[in-house]
Structure 1
């Protein structure tokens, strides 16, 4: 099993008190679209290497989130623990901070309520190609090309940092998160396929820009579930899973949010691959084993638990059963490419899903590829529809 390296302590301070914040005019951000960049973009990794890295990040991210859930609120601003390696995040947002503007990349994180970056004076900071932020300069510009400036934004400073990123843009449900401070009521994203070329980009959308296109015929919505013990995360009610034509006999308790705040299911921008509780994962794995008519292969080199050997002929048809997540009031019918990985070079096809090893299940971003996902904070619901994300 993958072991997360020891946690390093980050000591953020709140630069501005929340009580002193002046909410920015909603019109300044309503309709704003910002490009998202994948952490592995432009680094010339092979498909095999990309999958390895995604699997490692997924396990690291899950361990971090499960640790937070077990240790108390993820909303604390007194200290933030971040694993040193691998980087447990997936997408970056270009922003500028200070006067004159200092460009940097923050990690998009729906599992955090904090906004922070490395600041002066820094006792231990990661390398970056531009000056550290000076807290005496307060301007925060959202987006690397949009140049929409946020006045009086409350964010944190990291003075003792480890890792390979410049900071975090928290999009969680708490009052200190970036999306809460902007006050636009909703946000959305659309992740392109993980193996699309670098000329394409995923998108983050705020306010009206996040609204699903009325021409879509398959818009579905499911309510958020509140976990008072973990108010940051976007919990959902997952009622069951279908593989092929069979709805699996997963007990409702496998996905239930308990009164003490443990368990449950949430959707996350930073986890690569979906992770299910052991009882649910075993049933999903067994269903694919019985329904996929290919020899089982060893996929541990790529970091996956269940893999199959592809036919030697590239033209051979490979049938794969459907996968549907039955949410409250909505069915997330996943395209094949969102749960089955094929690496023709390695001759493998692998299930892009893991056992979480805990009471928590997480819907990862790989399963969200080419879906327009909208987090409606006003109506407290998640909406989604199929989309060609590189064309939004």
Structure 2
């Protein structure tokens, strides 16, 4: 859970824990809690009523904040080289690993790409990266590229979120993106995908196809791209139909501060490394290397699997 907190001298520390899935916030108390991992860890946690758990997975006892805040989990458990890894699974076998000693499969390590983490003026606790352009099947889509940078109010940029289920794009980017994607999917060489009726919350749906246009989020150079294949860009909604798993995020400054929010579906089976000491983010698609999150079945260091 994300928290705003204050702790006046000689008084109880109060917090405002928020369920970022439901958006509900309430008053809570900051307490010191012992947690058993490889050793006993003393952590500051925000104690909140059980009603705040509504909307979470069955059996969940709370939320772990992985942001950059002072009482976020990384700030409390990471020493030395401040680094942690996240792998969001399709079904099960995902993990969060704290430390820098994760033994990567050579197929994954060889193709791990890195991009700088960017500080957001409006959301300093979040993780932003510097997307410069978007390509579909190697063709850059046309939109106002200045939206990808922060404006004078700190709005703009691209952030990562495991709270948002599907990647959202600011309205003008979404329109340009979907127009280009549908054009490639239906008339591009080697595709010929057939459009079908929309299935909420998705606007663009197709009959199942083995061949899907590739999406590239171009980062600091043309050589560094977050490549999104069909297994991450499409969502199977039935045995016969799949939909483009990107949503209209609304107009910037009204509904969002980031113009692109990379969501959970696009993060699935991508190993993501948060190097806080080096202020960089590493990423590698595991499925592209014939691997997946569950292949990391034996982890050293401090980890939490689900």
TM range (shorter): 0.7 to 0.9
Alpha carbons of 1:252 and 1:232: their partners in 2 closer, same or farther (altered >3 Å)?
same
Equivalence map 1:284-299=2 (5 Å): 284-292=177-185, 293-299=192-198
1:208 aligned to 2:100? yes
Using the TM superposition, give the Cα deviation of residue 203 of structure 1 relative to its aligned residue in structure 2, in angstroms.
Answer: 1.2
In the other structure, the counterpart of 2:40 is: 149
Q: Which runs of 5+ in 2 are unaligned?
A: 186-191, 253-257, 287-291, 297-306
1:337 aligned to 2:231? yes
Query: Structure 2 length as normaliser, TM-score?
Result: 0.75
Alpha carbons of 1:380 and 1:17: their partners in 2 closer, same or farther (altered >3 Å)?
farther
The number of residues matched between the two structures is 264
In the other structure, the counterpart of 1:31 is: none
Q: Distance in 2 between matches of 1:239 and 1:307?
A: 27
Match of 2:273 among 353, 374, 380: 374
Q: Distance in 1 between matches of 2:233 and 2:241?
A: 14
Query: Structure 1 length as normaliser, TM-score?
Result: 0.60
Q: Distance in 2 between matches of 1:11 and 1:178?
A: 12
Give a deviation string over 1:226-285, Cα, whole Å, max 9, x none.
Answer: 123321111111111111131112321122211311122111122111101112111111
Q: Distance in 2 between matches of 1:12 and 1:232?
A: 11
Using the TM superposition, give the Cα deviation of residue 78 of structure 1 relative to its aligned residue in structure 2, in angstroms.
Answer: 4.6
Q: Distance in 2 between matches of 1:358 and 1:80?
A: 27
Alpha carbons of 1:81 and 1:169: their partners in 2 closer, same or farther (altered >3 Å)?
closer
Using the TM superposition, give the Cα deviation of residue 17 of structure 1 relative to its aligned residue in structure 2, in angstroms.
Answer: 8.7
Using the TM superposition, give the Cα deviation of residue 162 of structure 1 relative to its aligned residue in structure 2, in angstroms.
Answer: 3.5
In the other structure, the counterpart of 2:165 is: 272
In the other structure, the counterpart of 1:304 is: 202
8 Å contact 1:189–1:372 — kept in the other structure? yes
Q: Distance in 2 between matches of 1:222 and 1:306?
A: 30
Q: Which runs of 5+ in 1 are unaligned?
A: 1-9, 19-76, 90-115, 120-133, 311-316
1:79 aligned to 2:16? yes
